[in-house]
Amino acid sequence: MTLDNHFQDKSPIYLQLINIFTVRIAGGEWVAGQRVDSVRDLAMHFKVNPNTVQRALVEMEALGLMNTAGTSGRYVTSDQESILRARHNLAREELEEFIKAMTQLGYSRDDILQLLEEHISN
């Protein structure tokens, strides 16, 4: 089995799928304008219900990260701005999590910056 079908218990699958798809687009794994796999293929890949995949894809369209071109299928958006925005949003979420965790551990602003500097240069 692939690692892709490990889902968290506590939130709906479709939300987790949206997250996975967004990461793929923001990270460039799925490039702008690329054709997205069919619902069936995605459902098989993630071992989830096709209706759930469908729901996630519709949400992706609502978020402006995908669009359908008639009957020819579904594509990753070509709008670079939307992709960048999604990327920033994801990055900000990660940073917020990180800072929250570090603050809980008692690190100050300067400590965090210094630690980051050290780790990145390594």
Cβ-contact 49, 43 below 8 angstroms? yes
Residue 11 binds to other proteins (criterion: CB under 8 A): yes
Q: Which of 34, 51, 89, 114 binds other proteins (CB under 8 A)?
A: 51
Residue 7 binds to other proteins (criterion: CB under 8 A): yes
CA max distance for the chain: 55
Stretch in the footprint of other proteins (CB under 8 A) among 29-37, 48-56, 73-81, 83-91: 48-56
Strand, helix or coil at 38?
A: coil
> 17 vs 65, which CB is nearer to other proteins?
17
Q: Which of 28, 29, 31, 40 binds other proteins (CB under 8 A)?
A: 40
Q: Which residues contact 18 (CB under 8 A, 6 or more apart)?
A: 56, 59, 60, 63
Residue 43 binds to other proteins (criterion: CB under 8 A): yes
Q: Which residues contact 38 (CB under 8 A, 6 or more apart)?
A: 73
Residue 13 binds to other proteins (criterion: CB under 8 A): yes
Residue 71 binds to other proteins (criterion: CB under 8 A): no
- How many residues sit in the footprint of other proteins (CB under 8 A)? 19
Element (H, E) at 97: helix 80-104
Gap between the Cα atoms of 75 and 90, Å rounded: 21
- Enumerate binding residues for other proteins (CB under 8 A): 1, 5, 7, 9-14, 40, 43-44, 46-52
